[in-house]
Amino acid sequence: MATTTKLRPARKFGPGYFIREQMEYRNWTQEDLSEVMGITPKHLNKILQDKQALTIEMSKVLAEVFETSPQYWLNLDANYRLWLETEKSEKEIQAEIKAKIYERMPVRDMIHKGWLPDFSDTKALYQNVLTFWGQDELDFAELDRRTAPLLARKSESYNQYNAAYAYTWYHKAMQTAPSYKVADYNREALIALYNQLNEFTLLENGYNVFIQKLNEAGVIFFVLPHLQKTYLDGAAFFSGSNPVIVYTGRYKRIDNFWFTVAHEIGHILNHLNTPDTFFVDNFNEKEINELEEDANHHASCKLKHEEIYTYLKPKLNYLSVQAIVDCSNKLHIHPAVIIGKLAHEKTISYANQSLFNENVLELIDPDFIN
């Protein structure tokens, strides 16, 4: 990879440059030299522009005209042609490295989000990417190794899913987390907060109150938009000694926010067993492992999914908005969470998800949005 960071050597000059030097020394025009050499001006012009390789015969003619050896002109021409081939190979190398970067990072999306500066050439792109990854040299094999845990994902659009892009998003999340300062992690405080989660869904400004409580329990929270072809809803991992919850706002719905937060807290309390463990989540995945099923179970319990279904089951054939409101009051849970649960179970149409729902990104304190 070091090739991309080296400066290009000065342009190598072909025989044409040195022939023009000799012409200037003698104050000859192209017509003069073509007459002396016994070739047409058009033929000479191609030689002067190095568009035509020198033959042995032409090298002998030049040697006679300028009192040099034929070998001098043959060497100049051969070295120039070799340099041209090297230049072509350099361009191929640049294109190969650029392709490898684009395979692993959605460069244009990252520039649009301000995660990477724009670039003028491959060298500038390479340097920008080095800065993003915090490396002195890009090791694509190592990046691919880190991506491996994300390769088994299957979503509704899994043919479009790019695991390397997902790992790039996770790396950005890890970079962002230390900028948020919170209290020391208190597991007991988080458990107590988790058990009261449903009450916060009904509070005015409950999103920001809950985030503040998370911070007081030592949990970092922030919003980081997903990258193209990642289809991510959220993530959980450790930054130093503090657990982190990241919300992408992919769907921007109230029910999606609360389920994502509840799911990631489930991961923090039950599955983040080592500093290197991390979870990046897409709730539309067709196949999930036992840990994801367990986090879903904990989230469903805290959001009272079973109680919702039990309360509304007798009314499902003629479900009304008032029934949703009554259920909300009874179970102390936001109506949008109730509708989201029923829509996810295909009990009601997804079209109903617009009821009681607002753009949650407009409700979260901008300080938590990146």
**Domain chopping of the chain, boundaries:** 2-103, 107-138, 184-368
pLDDT for position 148: 78
pLDDT for position 241: 95
- For the domain spanning 2-103, the CATH number is 1.10.260.40
pLDDT for position 356: 77
pLDDT for position 146: 84
Q: Which residues of the chain have pLDDT under 50?
A: 1-10, 156, 158
Q: What are phi and psi of 13, to 5 degrees?
A: -95, 140
pLDDT for position 331: 94
